[in-house]
A and B are shown apart, each in its own frame.
Chain A
């Protein structure tokens, strides 16, 4: 008996992630592990991967083709030249593409909440968000990032910009804070699905048990919500204002100049809030009756 307990205690007595810092690292490490595994398994079908990535690149490029077509009839859109529009569009598209690549699967959580398969993620020693976000990681989404970058770089090269050192720093800051805000909204959207599912599930779980609620499409709903909100908020505060500064334009809202540099702070705030929402959602998870 005594011998037995000795034998079994050496394993788990390992250092544990405590506090937000190590916890974040721990989550990122786990995320990396799962992503690496999915990438390896997609690479087994290399041709299909290449085709999908190119397809992703092309379809996400259609937006910009539409803008190009428009410019074949006009010289300026709302006072912006084609390269200037390309810069704005490219920055947003890159930010969004990055988040779609790294967190795009977070919206799958709705399905897992509804059918109770979130259970199996909760029993692993790894943050659930990392597991959810990395699940079925699709490297082909890199296509959109590449497309966004191409357009952005083209816009930066062709637009009439009087480059200052501040502008040079502002470009990556703009893209990264944009991605940060999108990430926050994605996570908040995922967290929202705990409540959405809960509300709809409550009626059914009792009568039908675990296989309920496929008729409810909170995924679709929140996806639209996410897309809608994500384009308005960052465009206004994160991409638009710094982009105007880079282009040497007047801010139509007449906001003070320092607002142009608020992107990182706004992104950090949005991410923190969405993190809280996620934790609250997770704690309200009720699984399903079998």
Chain B
């Protein structure tokens, strides 16, 4: 069986669960035991070379999923394969083929300068010399690490450290890159650099990327496909546009008329939600084209200017959650 056969289900999960036994102090010497279903039967596949966003509120089970995909945690149930390997059984074998970045903690050595950390990574992964040099040069260049190579990791700022971590995770040319909240706490410039770099890695190297985040701009700028997880279950898996439909999100057409008029009426598929002097706001389904609505308005009203506002994806997801818990 060739490599090609595994490309469609390069990352493959089927009914994966992780249950944590939690004991809590409940008074003197008394312990309450209960179970947290951090991941509660998740299934999805990611083909080779895709860049996927994995989002959800705090405590949804994103990090736990990543930890199972790297072999750090042993799943409580279900089937899980990465490049045909069962991560928790063959963790060290898989480690050569994956790169991992945790936004919350570094995988580098605190007391060493980046350069030494990278040298150690090179030997641990047995990266051939030429390849190591080429990869390092590229990372240093794109992530702007040149001035940081001789600084001990503990002295780096969060953004610098994150860039250093991302470089470390890519020196051995991993086939998959997992990033758990890679932009958390970063300044705007670092965020932009990281995004730019990830896009490049995915496009040029064909590296499969799975990325969890709070920042929906990350997803909008990087991922065509997004998975939403809530309470350990997958509640959405599809394109970004489909997410809007699922969340019943609406776009807004803002029109400036020649003069103040009563609310616009009789435009199919749109309703006026706000009037402020000559300016009016019309909401319509995100999946629908704006063209016929604009045409209908222009036909009957003195139109001066217009703009279309995209829905706030944050609100879309909130709406999805609200729907779910309402059910």
* Chain A contact residues, CB within 8 Å of chain B: 1-9, 11-12, 14, 16-17, 30, 33-34, 37, 41, 116-117, 119-120, 122-127, 136, 202-203, 205-207, 210, 283, 285-287, 289-290
Contact = CB atoms under 8 A, between A and B. Distances in A.
Contacts of A136: 111
B123 interface: yes
B48 A5 contact: yes
Contact of B93 (A3, A6, A16, A30): A16
A207 to B, nearest CB: 7
Contacts of A4: 48-49, 205-206
A290 B120 contact: no
A28 B105 CA distance: 27
A122 B71 contact: yes
B70 A7 contact: no
A219 B22 CA distance: 22
Nearest to B25: A203
Contacts of B45: none
Contact of B107 (A1, A41, A123, A285): A123
Given A11-B173, A41-B112, A287-B67, A119 B105 contact: yes
Interface in B64-96: 67, 70-74, 91-93, 95-96
Interface string B1-23: 00110010000000000001111
B105 A5 contact: no
A123 B100 contact: yes
Contact of B59 (A30, A126, A289): A289
Which of B31, B70, B97, B98 has the most C-beta atoms of chain A within 10 angstroms of its own C-beta?
B97
B63 interface: yes
Nearest to B58: A290
Nearest to A209: B59
Contact of B175 (A8, A120, A203): A8
Contacts of A8: 173, 175, 205-207
B137 interface: no
24 contacts: A6-B3, A8-B207, A9-B175, A11-B97, A11-B172, A11-B173, A16-B96, A30-B124, A33-B120, A33-B124, A119-B72, A119-B105, A122-B72, A123-B71, A125-B93, A126-B95, A202-B21, A202-B24, A205-B20, A206-B24, A210-B104, A286-B20, A287-B67, A289-B63
B36 interface: yes
A122 B100 CA distance: 10
Contact of A125 (B22, B48, B92): B92
B126 interface: yes
Given A30-B124, A287-B67, A122 B91 contact: yes
